[in-house]
Amino acid sequence: QVQLVESGGGLVQAGGSLRLSCAASGLTFTRHSMGWFHQAPGKERELVAAISWSGARHLTDSVKGRFTISREDAKNIVYLQMNSLKPEDTAIYYCAATNAWSNIATNINEYNYWGQGTQVTVSS
C-alpha cells in the first residue's frame, strides 16, 4: 500500500521560510515522478512544483525564484523548500506521486497517489 506522509508545515511570517518533506513508502520511489500541490480555501488544488524520477524539475510561475523541489532517493523523501513566503501561499500542501516511469507531470490527473496534506499559514 502506497503511503505519502507530509510534514514541515506551520505558521510563518511573510518573508520567512519553511521546508516541507514527503516520506514515501509502499512504492519503488526511484521510479516515480513526484509533485507538490496546494489548495487554498474555496479554490481548486493546483500544482506548485514537480520533479521527475530522473530529476527534471518544474515550478509554477508564481513560485519561481522562491521555492525549490528536490528529492532524496536514498531516503524516499521529496522536499519543497519555500523561501520568501507570502500570505497568498497560505494553503494546505499535498504531496503526490505518479505511476511508475511517468515523465515529469504537470497535470493533476497524472497523479495517482496522494498524502493527507500539511497546513501552511503565512501571516502578513
Q: What is the largest CA-CA distance in the chain?
A: 41
Can you read off the three cell numbers belonging to residue 8?
514541515
CA nearest 115: which of 26, 2, 4, 36? 4
Per-residue pLDDT for 16 more than 90? yes
pLDDT by residue (tens digit) across 51-104?
Answer: 999 999 999 999 999 999 999 999 999 999 999 999 999 999 999 999 888 888
For the residues of 56-83, what is the DSSP string, one character each?
Answer: -EEE-GGGTTTEEEEEEGGGTEEEEEE-
Cβ 84 vs Cβ 25: under 8 Å: no
